[in-house]
Amino acid sequence: MDKIQADRGRRRLLIGVTSAIGGVGVGALATPFVLSMLPSARAKAAGAPVEADISKVEPGMMVTQEWRGQPVWIINRTPAMMAQLEKNAHLLSDPNSDKSEQPEPCKNVARAMPGHDNMLVVVGICTHLGCSPTEKLKAGNEGGMGSDWPGGFLCPCHGSKYDLSARVFKNMPAPLNMRIPPYTYLDDQRLLIGANKKGG
């Protein structure tokens, strides 16, 4: 009887030790597999909001900031550029940006945050086939666009033209205005691209 009970006790001990070692082994094998399914730091950074310093963006100047692998243009429009925006309405496919993508506060002629009307923040990608338009900010013949050019952007791929609010002109291959990303002002000299006021 004692030998049988001792064998049972040993068997229980061996089963317990084997189970514990097996559990540790399964955990050790599963950890790299589970970690490989989590997004990498690089992937997290690719979708993270990006801070842009706009303190040195002079009137009439454009700078580019990368966000999610896309060029985001930040343009400080002059008073003359701003005055031209209202005059373009009859030339545009979607002058009020009803069909186009932008944060709700940017649903205006300037397509900009209230209080910062002169600053255009736009994803610099044509809505036709994804080419990056070239800036032709100066009105008139200076940019080689003709004397009636109001200033804006020209897509070199298929000729789509946009005004200084990145709104597409009528009868162009591009179906929509360029996209305004979510963004918010941290202060008068810095903005955060990829986050709205609530941080989302």
Each residue's pLDDT tens digit in the chain (200 positions)? 566 766 677 777 777 777 778 777 766 666 665 555 554 455 445 568 999 999 999 999 999 999 989 999 999 999 999 999 989 889 999 998 888 888 888 889 999 999 999 999 999 999 998 889 999 988 888 777 888 899 899 999 988 999 999 999 999 999 999 999 999 999 989 999 998 765 44
Residue 19 is given by DSSP the state H
pLDDT computed for residue 39 by the predictor: 47
CB 140 within 8 A of CB 133: no
Enumerate the β-bridge partners of residue 53. Answer: 190
Residue 143 is given by DSSP the state G
Distances (CA, A) of 158 to 88, 127, 130, 162, 172: 21, 11, 11, 13, 9
Rounded to whole angstroms, the Cα distance separating 130 from 51 reads: 24
Q: How many CB atoms lie within 10 A of CB 106?
A: 23
Rounded to whole angstroms, the Cα distance separating 62 from 41 reads: 30
Enumerate the β-bridge partners of residue 191. Answer: 52, 185
Rounded to whole angstroms, the Cα distance separating 61 from 124 reads: 15
Q: Which helix (H) or strand (E) holds 15?
A: helix 2-37
Sign of CA dihedral 121, 125, 126, 127: negative
Rounded to whole angstroms, the Cα distance separating 193 from 196 reads: 8
Q: Which of 23, 27, 4 is nearest to 12 (CA)?
A: 4
